[in-house]
Structures are given as C-alpha cells and as structure tokens.
Amino acid sequence: MIRTTPLHERTNALNETQLWSHWSGHLAANRYQMSDKLEYFAVRNAAGIFDSSPLYKYRITGKDAESFLAGVLARDIRACVPGQAQYTCWLDDRGFVIEDGVILHTARNEYLLTSAEANLAYFEDRIGRNDARIEEVSHDIGTLALQGPRSRDLLRKLVPQMGSIPYFGLARGEIGGAAVTVSRTGYTGDLGYEIWMESPDALHVWDALWDSVEGHGVLPFGLAALYMLRIEAGLLLLDADFDSSRYAWNDAHRSSPIELGWSWMFKDLNGDDRAFIGRKALQREIAEKTSRWTMRGLVVDWRDYDRVYGDAGLIPPKDHTPIVEDWMVYDDDYKRVGYATSFMYSPMLQRHIAIARVRPDFAAVGTKVNLEFTVDHHYEQVAAHVARLPLYNPQRKTV
C-alpha cells in the first residue's frame, strides 16, 4: 500500500478530484478542485496551504554536526546560526551536483535537512570520525506550507511573534496546542512559511490553521499549482531541470552548481577554508571559467508566438500546465545554444516562460534566442529573450 501523509485525513476530505500523485512513496494531491489555476492564484493573491510531508527529512545531531555538514555540504553551513535556515546543495568530488535541499539549524548541534530523494547512506557513510549522527525522520515529522501574500498576517493571528520571522529564519511556537517549528521558506517564490511538527500533532496543527484562515480566500493547493509557482520563482526541480550526478550515465546529465545558477552560494569561497566534497573541482571551474552552461529564464516573444500559430490558422495555445521536457534553444543561425527544461504559460506574467540553460556567451540578459516548438507536427522557431531568474520575484518574498 502506498503511504499517506500525517495530514491525509484532511487533505483527502478536501480533494474533490481524488487525483493523487505518488511523491516519494506517498499520496500527494495533484489538485483539490477542478482548477489548478485557481489554487495558483490563491497563492499569488491570498494564500495557499500545501502538504509537503513526503519530503525526505534527516536530523543531524552531535558535537561535530557542524563540521560534518561543513564537509559534505557545498554551501558554508557555518554561516547558518541556530534559528536560521539555508538553501544548500551537495556535490560529488568532480564538482557535480548530487542534490539540493533546505537545512534548518533547529538548535545548537541539531539540524534538519530536507531532500527530494533518499540520502541517508550517502551522508552516513561520510560521517567518518566526526561525533555526529544522522537519522531519517521523514515519517516522524509532518510539514505543511502556508504561502502567499496573506500568509504573514494569518500566521501572526495564530502566533503573534511569528510575524517577524525574517526570510530564511526559524521560530518555535505552538499551534493548535502542538509544538511547531516555523521557517520562512517555501517553494513558491512568494512570501511564505513552512510549519514542521511531530506527525501525531499534524492534524491538530492543520485544524487550527484551517479554522483561522476561513474567509481569507485561502485554498489548499496541490502539486500542479506548485509546479506552476516554482517555475515562475525560478526554483529548480530534481529530475526536471537537473539530475543527480550519482545516477547520471554521463556528464551531459550532470551539472555543476555554477551551471545551475548557484554561484551566489560561493561568494565567500576564498575566505572559507573548508575542505568540502567537490571543492577543488568547483574552484577550478570558477577560476578557469569552464562552466558549460548558465541557468536562465526565457521569456517568449508573444508576437512571434502568436504569429507562428496564427499563420498555421491555429489559436495560439496559452496553457498554464507546466511541460517538463527538453526544448531546444537556437541562435539565429540554427545552431543549438542551449535547452529549456521547464516551460509554461504564466498567467501572472502573461507570457510563455521557461527555465533554460544557455551557453555562457548567450547568457547576457536580453539576448535574443529561438525556442523550438512543434506546430502542426513540424518544428517552428519562436523568438525569446534571455532573462534573469526568478522571473517572478515579488518584494514581499524577502521583506
């Protein structure tokens, strides 16, 4: 039997469509009502609630927890003090990305790391002589996200001091009589929070939250809406925008963190003396500028798009459903200069957008490229321009 999450009793009752995905061995709602677009707008205009319990979660403890993590994670964990969270990644020794995830520094010598895939053996095998322990707590901890412009005010109604959690900050408190940790994190690129609780408490927390949001236009949202939101937010998805180097057959399926647009994680690399896995290769890549790609957004030229479909006598489709596959990107001489991996029509931006990697010499913002579509069963090129990620980045996300 497929597992259900600690919130399933509630999410199941709300899921009118009874459409579920299997996410890390759990049932996860695709959408709750007939329209993922409605759920998406709830997040962008009010707030949405998302059950992210299926994430893998690891608790790392011990006197050497920090030095252990400093050696296996690529971003400097020492900059993340207790009460903070950090978006990080881990690399193989050739400097290719294994995975990314958010880590919470929950207390002195105690961390909670999330990941999309199983990583227990990987980390455990690398503890070595460190006085550190890692245990998987995926099923012990339930997670729900409250995301959107109203999320701060709603959370403040439940726990007044939580209104002041800074971006990527943490706080502990009580919701529905249960102890929770709240982090100002999420996967929507909006103002938002994630609430972490012991699984047996999950329903109490949900109920307290659910009662408090009544009348505020808040909707539960499923994976379909989440995938729209994350493309606008420029948040990469494993197995969509990149693959884990652990399971890649060749380097075409591997990416360095620089190629994925994470060079900002290594701004202070020179002043940081950690010997983390992949460091040498990463340093070499930065010094020798050998990155093959630059992660960018693409914004499709709407006039050209409409023209191509119009010329074929078709109504230009403006479908918000994300499509995750390779879309070729060409220069004007029909030379391939990159490929897009996630594509959608963004109702907020009113444009077709994509997450793409382009050759570094095509990465300047505003560079014109051509994205390949199939129209009437043959290939057509449509003009697009290179843009910085995230394509949608409201101020409220960080302030």
Cα separation, 9 vs 141, whole angstroms: 16
The window from 95-103, 317-325, 336-344, 358-366 that contacts another protein (CB under 8 A) reads 317-325
Cα torsion angle, 270, 274, 275, 281, sign: negative
In whole angstroms, how close is the CB of 362 to another protein at the nearest point?
A: 23
What are the phi and psi torsion angles at 203 (to 5°)? -70, -35
> Per rule CB under 8 A, is residue 393 in the interface with another protein?
no
> Per rule CB under 8 A, is residue 252 in the interface with another protein?
no
Residues numbered 199-238 forming contacts with another protein, rule: CB under 8 A: 214-217
> Per rule CB under 8 A, is residue 315 in the interface with another protein?
yes
- Write the DSSP string, 222-289: -HHHHHHHHHHTT---BTTTB--GGG-SSGGG---TTTTT-GGGGTTGGG-----TTHHHHHHHHHHT
In whole angstroms, how close is the CB of 297 to another protein at the nearest point?
A: 14
> Per rule CB under 8 A, is residue 375 in the interface with another protein?
no
> Which of 67, 122, 115 is closest to 93 using CA atoms?
122
Q: What is the DSSP letter of 388?
A: P
> Per rule CB under 8 A, is residue 246 in the interface with another protein?
no
Among 133, 246, 292, 318, binds another protein (CB under 8 A): 318
> Per rule CB under 8 A, is residue 348 in the interface with another protein?
yes
Helix axes 151-158, 202-213, angle to 10 degrees: 120
In whole angstroms, how close is the CB of 67 to another protein at the nearest point?
A: 46
Nearer to another protein by Cβ, of 103 and 389: the residue is 389
Per-residue interface string for the shown chain with another protein, residues 19-58, x marking contact by CB under 8 A:
--------------xxx-xx--x--xxx------------
Among 63, 267, 280, 303, binds another protein (CB under 8 A): 303
Alpha carbon of residue 323 to chain centroid: 16
> Per rule CB under 8 A, is residue 302 in the interface with another protein?
yes
The window from 104-112, 194-202, 286-294, 345-353 that contacts another protein (CB under 8 A) reads 345-353
Pairing of strands 368-375, 323-330: antiparallel
> Which of 92, 41, 377, 63 is closest to 253 using CA atoms?
92
Among 173, 347, 360, 390, binds another protein (CB under 8 A): 347
Structure tokens at 95: 């400097």
Nearer to another protein by Cβ, of 82 and 317: the residue is 317
Q: Is 323 exposed, middle or buried (0-12, 13-18, 19+ CB in 10 A)?
A: middle
Structure tokens at 325: 């596959």
> Per rule CB under 8 A, is residue 107 in the interface with another protein?
no
In whole angstroms, how close is the CB of 18 to another protein at the nearest point?
A: 12
In whole angstroms, how close is the CB of 38 to another protein at the nearest point?
A: 4
Structure tokens at 61: 């403890």
The window from 127-135, 181-189, 259-267, 349-357 that contacts another protein (CB under 8 A) reads 349-357
In whole angstroms, how close is the CB of 95 to another protein at the nearest point?
A: 38
Alpha helices per DSSP H over the chain: 8-14, 36-45, 65-72, 120-124, 151-158, 202-213, 223-232, 279-288, 302-311
Residues within the interface to another protein (CB under 8 A): 33-35, 37-38, 41, 44-46, 149-150, 214-217, 302-303, 306, 313, 315-320, 345, 347-351
